[in-house]
Chains A and B, each alone.
Chain A
Amino acid sequence: MTVAAEAVLPRARRWLPRLPGAWGFYIGGSIILALVIVAAAAPLIAPYNPNAVDLTHTLSGFSSQHLLGTDAAGRDILSRLIYGTRLSLLGPLAVVATSVIVGVPAGLVAGYRGGWVDTVVSRIGDIVFGFPPLLLAIVIVATFGAGFWTATVAIAITYIPLQARVARGVVLVECRNAYVDACKMQGFSARRTALGHVLPNVAGTITAQSTLNFGYALLDLAGLAFLGLGVQPPTPDWGEMLSDGRQNILFSVNEVVIASIAIAVAVIAFNLLGDSLVRRLSRTR
């Protein structure tokens, strides 16, 4: 029903919903935009070097010199938070990009072709889904050693089948439409039908799912860093700040609270945007 109504609206109006029903789109979107700007302009905004140790001002509270206080090594928490935005966003971005680049073609082929390709893709996914979430990533990190890239690759491995399964599902539903049969009857190649016609129609759902996945991946990566399995100190990262702050929680709670808030706000933003995109772009609802 909404599809027909949207078809007559200009493209820009379809993409930019008006405020009342779509506050999630604007709030989520503007928080994410702000985070990206902070990450890009970190050296310009941050008042201090994030790794500058000052042992005369450790665990200090909020002050005019250090707006969010300092950590156990006297490093400025605000500066670490600002620089931390970079890896905290880069990790999930790499995870989502990998899962889309690998998972979507796999899911598209599996859903469109069916047969043995579908079986192989689905079985591989089943193996990954057989592990509790995060556990497979922890085992992979255990094998290859802790670090930002190991953690990112490990999380990406668990998101690829998820993305493939979503793509496969929406492609299966989409292929029931008459236009797919029409394409086939006109003698279009499978490649042309799948890439030129089916893919553009499922791109919306995949975008919405990727936005949601971005938030979950951020949470997973920060969790790994918190366990000491992701970003390693002293590199600033929100998860690493949680881990560092946890060790000094009896003396000062500033660092853990601030890092928790940063993570929660970012995840809420991606959830809000993702949910509104699901509602706007999904055809399968």
Chain B
Amino acid sequence: MASTVQARRPGGPVRQVAGTIAARLPLSSHPTVRYAVSRLLASIGLLFVASIVIFLLEHLAPGSPESVLLGGRPATPQLLAAIRREYHLDAPLWTQYWDWLTGVLHGNFGQSITYKASVSSVIGSRIGATLELGVYAALITTVIGVTLGAVAALRSGRFTDTAISTLVVVLSSISGYVSAIVLLVIFGVKLGWFPILGTGTSGTDRLYHLTLPAIALAISLIALIARTTRASVGRTLDVEFVDTARSRGLSERRIFVKHVFRNSLIPILTVSGLAVGYLISGAVLVEYTFGLNGLGSLLVQAVEAKDYAVVQGVALLFTAVFIAVNLIIDLLYGLVDPRVRIGEVAA
């Protein structure tokens, strides 16, 4: 499985180039610093390329850029001229890109056509719900996924393992939006235990509104984490140091917590980078299903309204978060496994 099902993670060969650049920097004699700097440079490079893709796509859209930027407003000559001026459409493409990028780096993502406000203020008003949903779902995923996987590995081959593994296969086939709809129907519409629309006001009401969406988002990710944990813990349990620890009379609990679990962390970390990606795309679907006022539903509304500045802003933000989280995970490898930072084994 592990060799055929590919993890989608940023990095790869970009890393090697960044590694050679990093080797020439001051302070590079320290392996930890060199590792961190090379990962940082690779991530920045990737984000830069991603921003070019997001920017260029607008210019590939059928019709002239003015008509895209008009977004349904009447095409008066004054408005067209204003748009050409505002977006520097007469300048060469790379100048336009550079203007856009410097704007973005100063927090200026342009103006939203539909909201008649700056994209950054629209994003700012929506980001809270998505952030809370994401953290809530990530907590559920980590706690339940790791527990299920570890229990399955410790009870390998017994009934508990079979039950958990079957559950995992079923859960992994249910995408975020299918589980969202099923939960919505059962607990929202039929039983009426949870609200079916909206984000709620604040505090406990907010938590109450976000519970069902967070569970829906977590379900398919639990399968991913549980599967990885089971495989990883299972592999670690076969390593000789576990027998050594047992022969020294350590308790099973201590062996697991102190020795097995820590040595099983790397694959779990790797896959959690992937999980964050699915968390982001899942959030788009789940927010849409539950009518939450987050960035995901904003993205869908912006796509429908052809509000391209908002699409670019949200897409860039999501991509930046995805790349940043994967960078943090790569740096965490170094903490969990010292061999990674001195370059003995590849992360």
Residues of A bordering B, CB below 8 Å: 119, 122-123, 125-127, 129-136, 138-146, 162, 165-166, 169-170, 173, 205, 208-209, 212, 215, 219, 223, 226-229, 242, 246, 249-250, 253, 256-257, 260, 263-264, 267-268, 271-272, 275, 278, 282, 284-285
Contacts and interface: CB of A to CB of B under 8 A. Distances in A.
A132 B62 contact: no
Interface of B: 1, 3-6, 8-14, 46-47, 49-50, 53-54, 57-58, 60-62, 169-170, 172-175, 177-178, 181-182, 184-185, 189-190, 196, 276-278, 280-281, 284-285, 288-289, 299-300, 302-304, 306, 308, 311, 315, 318-319, 322-323
Contact of B178 (A123, A145, A208, A264): A264
Nearest to B42: A126
Given A123-B13, A123-B14, A242-B177, A131 B322 contact: yes
A139 B173 contact: no
B54 A144 contact: no
Contact of A122 (B12, B276, B302, B311): B12
A204 B289 CA distance: 38
23 contacts: A126-B46, A130-B49, A130-B322, A131-B315, A131-B319, A132-B280, A133-B281, A134-B281, A135-B284, A135-B319, A140-B57, A143-B60, A165-B6, A226-B285, A249-B189, A250-B189, A267-B173, A268-B169, A271-B172, A271-B173, A278-B5, A282-B4, A284-B3
B97 to A, nearest CB: 16
A228 B311 CA distance: 15
Interface SS, A side: helix
B189 A141 contact: no
Given A226-B285, A282-B3, A135 B318 contact: yes
A285 B4 CA distance: 8
Contacts of A285: 1, 3-4
A118 B169 CA distance: 34
A143 B185 CA distance: 33
Contacts, number: 163
Contacts of B47: 130
A169 B2 CA distance: 12
A284 B5 CA distance: 12
A165 B8 CA distance: 10
A159 to B, nearest CB: 11
